[in-house]
Amino acid sequence: MRYTTLSTLASFSGLASALTPAQWRTQSIYQVMTDRFARTDGSTSASCDVNNYCGGTYQGLINKLSYIQNMGFTAIWISPIVENIPQSTADGSGYHGYWAQNIYNVNTNFGSASDLVALSNALHNKGMYLMVDIVTNHIAQASSRANFNASAVGAPFSNASMYHTPCDIDYSNQTSIEQCWQGSNNVALADLRTEDTNIQSLFNAWLSQLVSNYTIDGLRIDSAKHVTPSSLSALQSSVNGMHFLGEVYSGDPSYLCPYQNTITGLMNYPQFFYTTQAFQSTSGNTSTLATGINTMKSTCKDVTLMGSFLENHDNPRLPALTSDQSLIRNAVAFSMLQDGIPIVYQGQEQKFYGGSVPYNREALWSSSYSTSSSTTLYPFLTTLNKIRSWAIKKDTAYITYNAWPIYTDAQTIIMRKGNANAQVIGVFTNRGASAKTATMTLGATNSGLGKYQSVMDVVACKSFTTDSKGNLGVTITSGLPQVFYPTSTLKGSGICSQ
Ligand SMILES: *[C@@H]1O[C@H](CO)[C@@H](O)[C@H](O)[C@H]1NC(C)=O
Ligand SMILES: *[C@@H]1O[C@H](CO)[C@@H](O)[C@H](O)[C@H]1NC(C)=O
Ligand SMILES: *[C@@H]1O[C@H](CO)[C@@H](O)[C@H](O)[C@H]1NC(C)=O
Ligand SMILES: *[C@@H]1O[C@H](CO)[C@@H](O)[C@H](O)[C@H]1NC(C)=O
Ligand SMILES: *[C@@H]1O[C@H](CO)[C@@H](O)[C@H](O)[C@H]1NC(C)=O
């Protein structure tokens, strides 16, 4: 049996055993863009032309896993690993990994197949997990769409009958989204007929080998809305028991949520949009965020199995939209502590501020991997990972308890996740760094706090006590977020010297 329980896993650490969706729930993911994370020699001075390969490798990543683990992350998601087209085109090169030409070979720019095995082993030896990004929507070729030549594609996709006829995607037409071609006339992204069972069988057979060859623990599915739902279900069944995070790029819960009936999890794109609009400026709307969170909960099968992210390699980073460090901290803390698996994209901890693709794909080594509290968010993220994993440890129900807004006003949203005496209460605001002090009272009914109960704001390590009715007076200073946790339950955690 490949998919074992957590207790068996612990005793066979390092052996092949993918994580189940329930096991992924409790992880915290750091998103690595393999070409941009670390070079084999660990050098930090190399320049990076963001349109082309910059030299990151699996060996470089292995050497820097402690940087990720010490921030509290328990898993990494890496770029697609397969051989990409070698050309440098007017659209750049395949450094990102999404331009496959042969799915049975590895992308040797990142290292050999045995280097990838070594990465997987190194992660498992540290008690960490590997999520790999896969693309089933298309095969790339450095040609115009009209000149795409299926015979020149590596096996098994060298037959023209395996592809849809080229057309431009009409995003108001789902058939067109599934059948027309992504990419451009510099790089054809030939759209595979994923509705055909022979195509599905080829991917399913490939995937079970891939998972086994590299001891993969979870999968991120690229372009999920561009393939047929039936192909997603088939892919999920081929490695049944594994967790998938599908990329359905949409802010609409009614469009996105049904995909969770085909695969176990999705990137929480609607939450990403609500969070970004709420915290990108002091005129953002926290009510839209509160409503959105509730809509996601009631529309999707299980938001606790989704990826909760604020930044990724496809969207402008939040600091490209605001330089206000208080707004940024609120957004970061909000997405780390919501339902689902937190995902932090490399460079977020370094306050990188790249805008649209490819400028949001900076080489991480330019930061020299600093962990400074004055110039990076590294210690802040470490604290957030610590309180989340402590809350999970103290109450197993924490992870499946659906977070809900227990207080909102025009510029505040207070979220509760967890049962009484083990609840995390996050106070988030978009007042901004230059705001005046604001105060509010948090009622005991919603917070679940008792009378004269002591809580710690684990961000500032400041303690507060509720009144005789269990109400908590909250003071927001400099627009900073606060994360309260019952002091008695914090004992033994080491957090804030408790
Ligand atoms: C298509 O690719 C095949 C295999 O590389 C090659 O033999 C053939 O000449 C190509 N066709 C065209 C029209 O370029
Ligand atoms: C390509 O696929 C078609 C339809 O399945 C089949 O008739 C044809 O023989 C295939 N061509 C090659 C070269 O395999
Ligand atoms: C939707 O897209 C498909 C595929 O391109 C096309 O055949 C169909 O006519 C389109 N439907 C509408 C209503 O435009
Ligand atoms: C898995 O490894 C086997 C044995 O080395 C190899 O034949 C196969 O092509 C590999 N499959 C993938 C998807 O990497
Ligand atoms: C915020 O959004 C809510 C609905 O989500 C709306 O009723 C309200 O007017 C908005 N407030 C502002 C200041 O835009």
How many other C-beta atoms are found inside a 10 Å radius of the C-beta of residue 223? 20
Binning pLDDT at 50, 70 and 90, where does residue 447 land? very high
List the CATH number of the domain containing 176.
Answer: 3.20.20.80
Q: Indicate if 156 and 222 belong to the same structural domain.
A: yes
From ligand 5's centre to the CA of 448, what distance in Å? 28
| pLDDT tens track for 353-410 | 999 999 999 999 999 999 999 999 999 999 999 999 999 999 999 999 999 999 999 9
Q: Indicate if 33 and 134 belong to the same structural domain.
A: yes
From ligand 2's centre to the CA of 153, what distance in Å? 14
From ligand 2's centre to the CA of 212, what distance in Å? 30
| Burial of 366: CB neighbours in 10 Å, binned 0-12, 13-18, 19+ | middle
Residue 237 confidence (pLDDT) above 80: yes
Q: Indicate if 410 and 375 belong to the same structural domain.
A: no
Instruction: Identify the residue whose C-alpha is closest to ligand 3 atom 12.
Output: 173
CA distances from 353 to 74, 309, 312, 334 (A): 25, 16, 12, 19
Binning pLDDT at 50, 70 and 90, where does residue 155 land? confident
Is 222 part of the annotated catalytic residue set?
yes
End position of a domain, from candidates 351, 381, 399: 399
Binning pLDDT at 50, 70 and 90, where does residue 4 land? very low
Residue 453 confidence (pLDDT) above 90: yes
Which of 149, 157, 159 has the most ligand 1 atoms within 8 A of CB, as the residue to mutate?
149
From ligand 1's centre to the CA of 158, what distance in Å? 11
Residues whose CB is less than 8 angstroms from the CB of residue 172 and which lie 6 or more positions away in sequence, other chains included: none
DSSP, residue by residue, 419-479: STTS-EEEEEE-S-TTPPPEEEEE-HHHH---TT-EEEETTTTEEEE--TTS-EEEEE-TT
End position of a domain, from candidates 368, 399, 430: 399
End position of a domain, from candidates 366, 399, 432: 399
Number of residues assigned to the chain: 498
pTM summary value: 0.95
Q: Indicate if 413 and 337 belong to the same structural domain.
A: no
Domain count, the chain: 2
Range of the domain at 74: 2-399
| Burial of 368: CB neighbours in 10 Å, binned 0-12, 13-18, 19+ | exposed
Candidate list 247, 311, 339, 457, residue with the active-site label: 247
Instruction: Identify the residue whose C-alpha is closest to ligand 2 atom 13.
Output: 159
Strands 307-309 and 341-345: parallel
What's phi and psi for 431, nearest 5 deg?
A: -65, -30
Instruction: Identify the residue whose C-alpha is closest to ligand 5 atom 11.
Output: 285
| pLDDT tens track for 342-352 | 999 999 999 99
DSSP, residue by residue, 38-49: -BTT--S-----
